[in-house]
Amino acid sequence: MTLEDVTIRRATADDARALAASRHQFRTTFDSPRPAPQDAAFETEAAFVERAAPLIDGFLRAGRWHAWIAECGGRICGHLFLQMIDKMPNPDPREPEHLAYLTSFFVEPDLRDRGVGAALMQQLEAFAQRSDVEKILIVGTTPRSRSLYARRGYQSAPDLLQKIVM
């Protein structure tokens, strides 16, 4: 399968069940910075979809979350989500008042390194530019994903701090 066989489109709330199933695949197969033990008991796909689909539906309908999907043969073969974050108002009209959080970025393994991830990112970044987003934030990258982000201009930020609370 090639990039020409893939359709990239903005997801709607009607895609919530399929997005939930794709997210289950992502979270049970990805290269986590904190891998689960081999005997970890993940929630079944059916149970996860029943629990997550209504939440994803609500998030997308509320308008603070946005998602894009890669479709192959009528099924989702990749996805990513973007949450809009409002900044406090600023008296300088040149400073954007939105940040965005990119998460749950997944492309099926057999489609990686074929431009699908870059095509998803291109759509997300175009949306962020149109939406007056100052910065796109990413938390929890993997060694494999960092090269894609670097090629697209993402870099570590010296002004970002974190505290792990769990």
pLDDT, one tens digit per residue, over 52-80 is: 999 999 999 999 999 999 999 999 999 99
Predicted confidence at residue 31, as pLDDT, reads: 60
The torsion of the CA quartet 63, 79, 32, 50, rounded to 10 degrees, works out to 70
Residue numbers of the chain with a pLDDT score lower than 70: 1, 30-39
In contact, 110 and 72? CB cutoff 8 Å:
no
**Which strand (E) or helix (H) includes residue 46?**
helix 45-62
Helix (H) or strand (E) holding 144: helix 143-151
Domain extents in the chain: 3-32+41-151
**Amino acid, single-letter form, for residue 27:** R
Position 34 scores a pLDDT of 55
> Coil, helix or strand for 166?
coil
Number of other CB atoms surrounding residue 70 within 10 Å: 25
3-state secondary structure of 104: strand
CATH architecture group of domain 3-32+41-151? 3-Layer(aba) Sandwich (3.40)
